Amino acid sequence: ARIRRYKWEVKNEFKSPDCYRKMVITINGRTPGPTIRAQQNDTIIVEVTNSLFTENIAIHWHGIRQIGTPWFDGSEGITQCPILPGTTFKYQFVVDRPGTYVYHAHYGMQRDSGLYGSIIVGLPDGESEPFAYDYDRNIILNDWYHNSTTEQAVGLSKVPFQWIGEPQSLLIHGRGRFNCSSLSVPSSDPGLCNTTNPDCFPFRLIVVPGKTYRLRVSSLTSLSALSFQIEGHKLTVVEADGHYVEPFVVQNLFIYSGKLIRFYRPAPSTPPGQGVLVYYPNHPRRSPLTIPPAAPVWNDSRPRMAQSQAIKARRGYIHTPPAVSDRVIVFLNTQNELNGRRRWSVNNVSFTHPLTPYLIALKHNLTHAFDQNPPPDGYDFLNYDIYERHPNANTTSSNGIYRLNFNSIVDVILQNANTMNPKNSETHPWHLHGHDFWVLGYGEGKFDMFNDPNKYNLVNPIMKNTVPVHPFGWTALRFKADNPGAWSFHCHIESHLFMGMGVVFAEGIEKVGKLPSSIMGCGQTQGL
Ligand code: C2O
Ligand code: CU
């Protein structure tokens, strides 16, 4: 195994990814940032210098379990203090499994500003994948807002609530196309929105006829669930979240934020994002003559549910889950209010960060750093109506955590419900740090504690780190609490996490090694 070193400078710059000029966050001048390419068991060292003028940062390595290095998970407030402007922080961790991963900001809603990129981990020399391909290409999908994350945060915490709305554009590998003539107030500044700006020249994938391409498609949207398709081609899905899946063929690949798998759209008012697949030797600037194919109806969740259910672990690569669990936690996902502010809650608790990161507070026994009462393991299953608004609009907030017995087997049932709007429920992609889980099942309606567990797939469930819970549905997961540390489990929609949609698990703290002093500095950590 090798050591791979990176030096990154994180800066604010003006860019026009969708032809509209906006202040973004770049790494070494780029968004998406540089791709980390490594082989299994390599050590990655990234020295990050925060050259933003006023904002803190933290970078999370999404899908990397950080075994033995829980302090380098990059979740601000959970595993480390923020990286202050003008300072440099060194992340160092091992990539212990091949696959397609991403990294992204984990401070406030900063991911929306463009601070993200890919991590590609190949097999060690001499080993080969269970499928053949000629070339390997990488595509990151994202959605894009023209206002700043600070403006979004102010709106989301306002009374009355001001929703961020739908994104202005969808980006394929950092490139989109906003219709400048649709600007409500025409600008006298010709540089503000300019479709001839090379920043927004559509993404081109140049391919050689007859060859097989492995496309590593990741979504880092702040809001949207996307559908990805290539006109005139079918896609065979072979890997998800670093695990081989039993190959299946799709026309549209549904992909949710944080999930790692020319044409996609979240909701009617955002135009589809579009790139061009160019067959060599056609000229890369040529545009297709055909009309782009129609996208699936944006608000029909049935094909999404069907695709979720179709994913199974690949034969020969199945990790069989333990037959039973030691603990079952049910998380009811609701939208409600806290002192008039719109919030998301889990079992009627809306999550807030403490000033002192949990990992440090737990390791050093700082019992005043956060609420020592654990949040509830369930909700009122018998009486709660998931098809109605939450009857108790006033939620509670807490920074308490779930402590798991080390090496215990934990089941988590994500239960979706109605939002504050009548007859409405949303899709939430939940992501677990530090672990992979088995996806035991999905269902519609309220999870039935007595009958639904009998239908779990214990034979060939896929292992993942991010999973959707569909509107008015449930998703059941199982994982082993075998990674000493404190780990975030949250909805990957930036605004939902900002509004409290997350929890924290902690396990095996006595097995965590000495914490590096570089993660200290905030809250009660001074002087440790
Ligand atoms: Cu990719 Cu905590 O997130
Ligand atoms: Cu959500």
- 59-87: pLDDT as tens digits: 999 999 999 999 999 999 999 999 999 99
Average pLDDT over residues 481-495: 97
Q: What does the pLDDT look like over 142-163, one tens digit per residue?
A: 999 999 999 999 999 999 999 9
Peptide bond into 32 cis (omega under 30): yes
Average pLDDT over residues 265-277: 65
Centroid of ligand 2 to alpha carbon of 233 (angstroms): 31
Q: How many CB atoms lie within 10 A of CB 249?
A: 8
* 424 confidence band (pLDDT: 50, 70, 90): very high
pLDDT above 90 covers a percentage of the chain that reads: 78
Residue 186 has pLDDT above 70, yes or no: no
Residue 299 has pLDDT above 90, yes or no: no
Secondary structure (3-state) at 437: strand
CA torsion through residues 368, 503, 259, 271, sign: negative
Q: How many CB atoms lie within 10 A of CB 23?
A: 11
Query: Could you tell me which residues are beta bridge partners of residue 47?
Result: 7, 90
Query: CA dihedral defined by 411, 223, 116, 109, rounded to 10 degrees?
Result: -90
Ligand 1 atom closest to the Cα of residue 62 is 1
What pLDDT, on the 0 to 100 scale, is given for residue 98?
Answer: 95
* 449 confidence band (pLDDT: 50, 70, 90): very high
* 258 confidence band (pLDDT: 50, 70, 90): low
Centroid of ligand 2 to alpha carbon of 492 (angstroms): 6
**N-to-C CA span, the chain:** 33
Ligand 1 atom closest to the Cα of residue 490 is 2
Residue 259 has pLDDT above 60, yes or no: no
Ligand 1 atom closest to the Cα of residue 220 is 1
Residue 322 has pLDDT above 70, yes or no: yes
* 231 confidence band (pLDDT: 50, 70, 90): confident
Centroid of ligand 2 to alpha carbon of 157 (angstroms): 16
- What tokens were used for 100? 């397609």
Distance between CA atoms of residues 406 and 463, nearest Å: 20
- Are the C-beta atoms of residues 218 and 139 closer than 8 Å to each other? yes
* 297 confidence band (pLDDT: 50, 70, 90): low
Ligand 1 atom closest to the Cα of residue 111 is 1
Closest CA to 390 of 333, 445, 444: 333
Q: What is the pTM of this model?
A: 0.95
Distance between CA atoms of residues 477 and 412, nearest Å: 5
Residue 266 has pLDDT above 50, yes or no: no
Ligand 1 atom closest to the Cα of residue 258 is 1
Query: Could you tell me which residues are beta bridge partners of residue 70?
Result: none
Centroid of ligand 1 to alpha carbon of 41 (angstroms): 22
Average pLDDT over residues 97-104: 95
Residue 308 has pLDDT above 60, yes or no: yes
- Are the C-beta atoms of residues 356 and 299 closer than 8 Å to each other? no
Ligand with minimal distance to 110 CA: 1
Amino acid at 437: F
Closest CA to 169 of 97, 93, 310, 271: 271
Centroid of ligand 1 to alpha carbon of 157 (angstroms): 21
- What tokens were used for 497? 């996490």
Average pLDDT over residues 2-14: 98
Ligand 1 atom closest to the Cα of residue 102 is 1
What pLDDT, on the 0 to 100 scale, is given for residue 298?
Answer: 62
Centroid of ligand 2 to alpha carbon of 528 (angstroms): 36
Residue nearest (by alpha carbon) to ligand 1 atom 1: 62
How far is CA 75 from its chain centroid? 13
Centroid of ligand 1 to alpha carbon of 511 (angstroms): 24
Secondary structure (3-state) at 306: helix
Pocket of ligand 1 (CB under 6 A): 60, 62, 75, 104, 106, 258, 431, 433, 488, 490, 492
Distance between CA atoms of residues 72 and 249, nearest Å: 37
pLDDT above 70 covers a percentage of the chain that reads: 96
Ligand with minimal distance to 101 CA: 1
Ligand with minimal distance to 259 CA: 1
Ligand with minimal distance to 417 CA: 2
Average pLDDT over residues 282-292: 77
User: In which region does residue 302 sit, left (phi positive, over 0), alpha (psi from -120 to 50) or beta (all else)?
Assistant: alpha
What pLDDT, on the 0 to 100 scale, is given for residue 349?
Answer: 95
CA torsion through residues 277, 281, 283, 286, sign: negative
Distance between CA atoms of residues 94 and 69, nearest Å: 9
Average pLDDT over residues 405-415: 98
Q: What does the pLDDT look like over 343-393, one tens digit per residue?
A: 999 999 999 999 999 999 999 999 999 999 999 999 999 999 999 998 877
- Are the C-beta atoms of residues 441 and 456 closer than 8 Å to each other? yes
Q: In what order do the strands lie in the sheet with 42-50?
A: 22-27, 3-15, 42-50, 88-95
What pLDDT, on the 0 to 100 scale, is given for residue 227?
Answer: 85
- Are the C-beta atoms of residues 227 and 297 closer than 8 Å to each other? no
Residue 225 has pLDDT above 90, yes or no: no
Residue spans of alpha helices (H) in 382-462? none
Distance between CA atoms of residues 384 and 379, nearest Å: 8
Peptide bond into 281 cis (omega under 30): yes
Ligand 1 atom closest to the Cα of residue 63 is 1
Write out the DSSP string of 232-269. T--EEEEEETTEEEEEEEESSEEE-TT-B---B-SSTT
Average pLDDT over residues 28-47: 97
* 264 confidence band (pLDDT: 50, 70, 90): very low
* 276 confidence band (pLDDT: 50, 70, 90): confident
The CA-CA-CA angle for residues 47, 356, 492, to 5°, reads: 70
pLDDT averaged over every residue in the chain = 92
* 271 confidence band (pLDDT: 50, 70, 90): confident
Residue 319 has pLDDT above 70, yes or no: yes
What pLDDT, on the 0 to 100 scale, is given for residue 296?
Answer: 67
Closest CA to 493 of 63, 200, 142, 7: 142
What pLDDT, on the 0 to 100 scale, is given for residue 184?
Answer: 72
| Three-class HEC string of 46-103 | EEEEECCCCCCECEEEECCCCCCCHHHCCCECCCECCECCCCEEEEEEEECCCEEEEE
The single residue listed with the structure tokens 């600070």 is 150
Ranges 255-264, 366-375, 424-433, 503-512: which has the least confidence: 255-264
- What tokens were used for 319? 């990790």
- Are the C-beta atoms of residues 481 and 404 closer than 8 Å to each other? yes
Ligand with minimal distance to 491 CA: 2
Distance between CA atoms of residues 82 and 153, nearest Å: 18
Does the interface ipTM go beyond 0.95?
A: yes
* 261 confidence band (pLDDT: 50, 70, 90): very low
Centroid of ligand 2 to alpha carbon of 48 (angstroms): 29
Peptide bond into 461 cis (omega under 30): no
Domains and CATH numbers, the chain: 3-299 (2.60.40.420), 327-525 (2.60.40.420)
